[in-house]
Chains A and B, each alone.
Chain A
């Protein structure tokens, strides 16, 4: 019993202590063969700058369509299009912000 309580407690703690990005994006994406890092690079390749990438990400999270997806056809055939995310605005923006900060290229090249 104590074990369960501790387990539940740690789990909740784990879940709530993480940021919006960890909570909403990473968990689900763990299942996918293409990493979030790769997907980010696809976005960079197509949308280039920070504002454009963020706007595009947000739009796709709300309205995922096959013809705007950056993923290869083969991937989409296997995994399908994701469901529109039902996050509130603030959290989505926060998640995307963290996503950008995590993978952006500027300052990491040597």
Chain B
């Protein structure tokens, strides 16, 4: 059971996997956005806190400097030395923002903000009420040591990391919840099929064997027709049976890879399908050149059988099934119902059926995909609705 569980997990439908991936992308994107927003808010708050601490000092410096300016104002121009202070640099501006005198290292000043950080310099803009020496704005400048910033960054990385881990954990949890119902239903179906296939084996073998040994020559034309139809139906069921056993049991077997002469194999398979195609009055066009491939024969048969049976099943009455074989490519085409462009993507999904009227579990093409993926065989699908489908394998 554990085997079938892991397989079921791998066989999530492509469409569903796609929406799962989209969900995860969206989720990760949102989390990143959230983290960035949090970091920005945190950093800004930290910066504002640092500035507000600086403001207390700067306010006091400004008060002292204003007093000095006042004194200089009264003794101007017997004294002309601008008052300096080792704790800060300062500059004075008139009400037209013209510089009167400046000791600043960073000359660009934003008069609209009282305190701000620029290029690792903190500027404090004090507006005077009495314009000593014409000074409307007194600007103080101190160097920012950047310690606060380093501290903030360390915190952002640490907390951010924790939050990130938390959200990623949550994301995985959510994704699992999201996938679980699908996985459950697929597992259920898998188990059901596995159980049923067992029961199919014996009666199917009996039907086929008995049809084989029936003497057609002594039979009336009418009855022979009926028997052929029974035969065709039995073959269809037998195909399904093989697919299902392949899925549930044989898939796990080790590959017995060997060089296979594809022409021989194709002829044998066509022979096998003859009854089926006759019942639909299909004609067959073949264009076969010698070609070989190195793979497990059972698997190649599953691929060919599924493609041929689809070409027959979805064909119209009196239609044609074509096979073109070259070294490195095998094309099987039909004149059937075709498939819609938007369905192409999902056509290899398990349990996906496009024609409800046709029987089957919709496992055929998923097996094909499974096997061709394993052998790195490329599949090209060209299809026109109501005109036919053309599937080419390239290796």
When A50-B96, A106-B100 are in contact, do A44 and B133 touch as well, CB less than 8 Å?
yes
Could you say which residues of chain B place their CB within 8 Å of the CB of A49? 94-96, 98, 134, 136
Q: Is A110 interfacial (CB-CB < 8 Å)?
A: yes
Could you say which residues of chain B place their CB within 8 Å of the CB of A105? 76, 100-101, 133-134
Q: Is B53 interfacial (CB-CB < 8 Å)?
A: no
Instruction: Report B66-84 residues with CB < 8 Å from chain A CB.
Output: 73-74, 76-77, 80-82
Closest to B83 in A: A109
In the complex, given contacts A41-B76, A45-B131, what are 16 additional A-B residue pairs having Cβ atoms less than 8 angstroms apart? A37-B77, A44-B134, A46-B130, A48-B94, A50-B96, A51-B96, A52-B96, A53-B134, A103-B77, A105-B76, A105-B101, A106-B99, A106-B101, A108-B77, A109-B82, A110-B82
Q: Is B246 interfacial (CB-CB < 8 Å)?
A: no
Could you say which residues of chain A place their CB within 8 Å of the CB of B80? 108-110
When A109-B100, A109-B101 are in contact, do A48 and B134 touch as well, CB less than 8 Å?
yes
Question: When chains A and B are docked, how far (Å) is the Cα of A45 from the Cα of B95?
Answer: 11
Could you say which residues of chain B place their CB within 8 Å of the CB of A110? 80-82
We find that the number of chain A residues with CB closer than 8 angstroms to chain B is 19
Q: Is B135 interfacial (CB-CB < 8 Å)?
A: yes
Closest to B94 in A: A49
Chain A 47-76: CB-based contact to B (< 8 A → 1; otherwise 0): 111111100000000000000000000000
Residue ranges of A at the interface with B (Cβ–Cβ < 8 Å): 37, 41, 44-53, 103-106, 108-110
The 18 listed contacts between A and B (C-beta, < 8 Å) are A41-B74, A44-B73, A44-B133, A45-B130, A45-B131, A45-B132, A45-B134, A46-B130, A47-B131, A49-B94, A51-B96, A105-B76, A108-B77, A109-B82, A109-B100, A109-B133, A110-B80, A110-B81
Chain B 123-139: CB-based contact to A (< 8 A → 1; otherwise 0): 00000001111111000
Question: When chains A and B are docked, how far (Å) is the Cα of A47 from the Cα of B82?
Answer: 21
Closest to B134 in A: A44
Rounded to whole Å, the gap between the CB of B76 and the closest CB of chain A is 6
Chain B 105-144: CB-based contact to A (< 8 A → 1; otherwise 0): 0000000000000000000000000111111100000000
8 Å CB contact of B135 from A37, A48, A51, A104: A48
Rounded to whole Å, the gap between the CB of B376 and the closest CB of chain A is 80
Closest to B135 in A: A48
Q: 6 closest Cβ contacts across the A-B interface?
A: A49-B96, A49-B94, A48-B95, A44-B134, A48-B131, A49-B95
Question: When chains A and B are docked, how far (Å) is the Cα of A45 from the Cα of B98?
Answer: 15
